[in-house]
Structure 1
């Protein structure tokens, strides 16, 4: 199958290398130093899926009409990237491999003739330099769309992608998206202070902030009428219980998540972007919680504060003192 991949960062690079290795004809749309590195040296993948050097076609835009498209850009780049390839891919099935809640809707709006799906990737990978990806944790990814049972097309596309990496078609994709958003609350705190998730969990103050952001995200989802999907060992029942816990008791939830997923050494994708001097996805992670809270007629002060701190670190080009996190939350009612 001819597969177009838009964006060749950590996940785009991983999927491109593994799909090429599985025998698919892969073309990658990339820019700048990433395009040059892939053109000169291929995609160099290491870690959990083994060592792969994939020689794939690459250009600023896709040049051949594919049978399937994966959009693997950062959330803030998705609209421009899809629009740049729209004439070639409208009418082709599109899988959006992104964090946040808005990617599939954005693709469907721009590509009215395409079937659009979302993919929740649970793979952890470091994009250390252009064209180089190291997978630090492997896991089955989940693909779907909407609120109902997985349809036949979702099952078909999941099977195609499973040629390369485990992917399962998922019922109630929207609920699982929300669970993934809860999980993605692990990104902000380590990005602000420049540490690993293991170090966050070991710090009572930082763990308290992480817990507060996750709990607030769940409470906002409940206010929006969400039934959370099962993902990363979390489900609707456990998250609703978590939403009602005192903060001190709730710290066990993110601590267990980090341990269960083996993420102690991970810094998260937000911090990776900061380290590369690139804009982060924070407005589509913690910022999405703030927008969803506003739509529900409530506030999300913890996630608003963390969003502002990440933007401050972006502007400075360096992490902030750890005490800034505690200071930002000190005046908030965290019951």
Structure 2
């Protein structure tokens, strides 16, 4: 395994001592090969069979262009990212070299150079953590092999509905990640507090409505069918019970240290993926002749936080309840 990164201190730490991986109940030090992006040209002697692109969505194009020339003749790229990134990968590397992987419920963060923490208990989810699939929907030998590999990390399955799963993951991300950042809450608290639960439900309803209008076969989100989320958002009491149980199940597997990627970016003063997440839902809603007002309001809120014009906290999201 070779890890490639642009942060010099991170690369140096991995080169000296490997990755220190901490999750509930265990800590492991994992030796591996690490390269800075300036060292990638050394791969011409040792081409890559399988490349995971795990960068922020706004870095997808250059990261793909960086690694594509060093793929082996049968090598391919796996888009282990949020959002719908396959088209951008394929535009650089080709569709035949593009495989999708939807990761949900990983809840990890980079604590410092060479140190990664997972804030949930592995193997305790009602759904798979990873789903891998071809963009054309067939289950191929390389997809089966990839699933077997990732199953060593956590529960993995193959999918024939990559695009529907992609949109489902987008729903899960857009109902939690930015809201976690804006409210200054841990994900565990986000899933447990009534006020944030109501906002998450509304965000889910808007995003599922857009995905359905665009023709995606939206898969269950947090174990609840898309139609039941929509019904719950409309006030159906039976479906509200299902959604409440899904929120409780997430609380059970999370620790108080759980923070969304957007919350981590805001805390570090980094650019967020908001334009590719909630902002993307707004853009696709316009394309479908719909609106997504709560996603639009949350996008605007995060953009102000990126610029330092607002700070995370309950007062920053109180206005969302009136949208």
Q: Same fold (TM over 0.5)?
A: yes
Question: Is 1:43 paired with 2:19?
Answer: yes
Aligned to 2:81: 98
CA distance in 1: counterparts of 2:27 and 2:36, whole angstroms: 26
Deviation of residue 44 (structure 1)?
0.5
Aligned residues: 304
Q: CA, structure 1 residues 250+314, in 2 after alignment: closer, same or farther (shift >3 Å)?
A: farther
Aligned to 2:301: 309
Is the CA contact 1:197–1:258 (under 8 Å) kept in the aligned structure 2? Answer: no
CA distance in 2: counterparts of 1:264 and 1:50, whole angstroms: 14
For residues 237-272 of structure 1, give each alpha carbon's deviation from its aligned partner in whole angstroms, at most 9, with x where no partner exists: 4344345x2399876565433321323632211111
Is the CA contact 1:173–1:229 (under 8 Å) kept in the aligned structure 2? Answer: no
CA distance in 2: counterparts of 1:80 and 1:255, whole angstroms: 41
CA distance in 1: counterparts of 2:63 and 2:262, whole angstroms: 20
Is the CA contact 1:75–1:281 (under 8 Å) kept in the aligned structure 2? Answer: yes
Aligned to 2:169: 180
Is the CA contact 1:95–1:118 (under 8 Å) kept in the aligned structure 2? Answer: yes
Is the CA contact 1:305–1:329 (under 8 Å) kept in the aligned structure 2? Answer: no
Is the CA contact 1:290–1:304 (under 8 Å) kept in the aligned structure 2? Answer: yes
Is the CA contact 1:96–1:119 (under 8 Å) kept in the aligned structure 2? Answer: yes
CA distance in 2: counterparts of 1:51 and 1:204, whole angstroms: 34
Q: CA, structure 1 residues 264+312, in 2 after alignment: closer, same or farther (shift >3 Å)?
A: farther
CA distance in 1: counterparts of 2:57 and 2:109, whole angstroms: 17
CA distance in 2: counterparts of 1:90 and 1:251, whole angstroms: 50
Bigger Cα displacement from structure 2, 289-298 vs 261-270:
261-270
Is the CA contact 1:211–1:250 (under 8 Å) kept in the aligned structure 2? Answer: no
Bigger Cα displacement from structure 2, 179-188 vs 58-67:
58-67
Deviation of residue 175 (structure 1)?
0.8
Aligned to 1:129: 112
Aligned to 2:99: 117
Q: CA, structure 1 residues 45+173, in 2 after alignment: closer, same or farther (shift >3 Å)?
A: same
Q: 2:148 aligns with which of 136, 159, 168?
A: 159
Is the CA contact 1:150–1:169 (under 8 Å) kept in the aligned structure 2? Answer: yes
Question: Is 1:275 paired with 2:267?
Answer: yes
TM-score by length of 1: 0.81
Aligned to 1:296: 288
Aligned to 1:225: 215
Q: CA, structure 1 residues 252+39, in 2 after alignment: closer, same or farther (shift >3 Å)?
A: farther
The residue correspondences of 1:319-334 to structure 2 (distance < 5 A) are 319-330=311-322, 332=323
Q: CA, structure 1 residues 119+199, in 2 after alignment: closer, same or farther (shift >3 Å)?
A: same
Question: Is 1:238 paired with 2:228?
Answer: yes
Bigger Cα displacement from structure 2, 114-123 vs 86-95:
86-95
Q: 2:6 aligns with which of 26, 31, 37?
A: 31
Bigger Cα displacement from structure 2, 228-237 vs 32-41:
228-237
**Unmatched tracts of structure 1, length 5 or more:** 1-25
Task: Report the 3-state secondary structure (helix = DSSP H, G, I; strand = E; otherwise coil) of the residue aligned with 1:51.
Answer: strand
Q: 1:57 aligns with which of 9, 13, 33?
A: 33
Task: Report the 3-state secondary structure (helix = DSSP H, G, I; strand = E; otherwise coil) of the residue aligned with 2:318.
Answer: helix
CA distance in 2: counterparts of 1:87 and 1:230, whole angstroms: 37
What's the C-alpha RMSD, in Å, of the aligned pairs? 2.6
Question: Is 1:263 paired with 2:236?
Answer: no
CA distance in 2: counterparts of 1:247 and 1:312, whole angstroms: 35
Deviation of residue 115 (structure 1)?
2.3
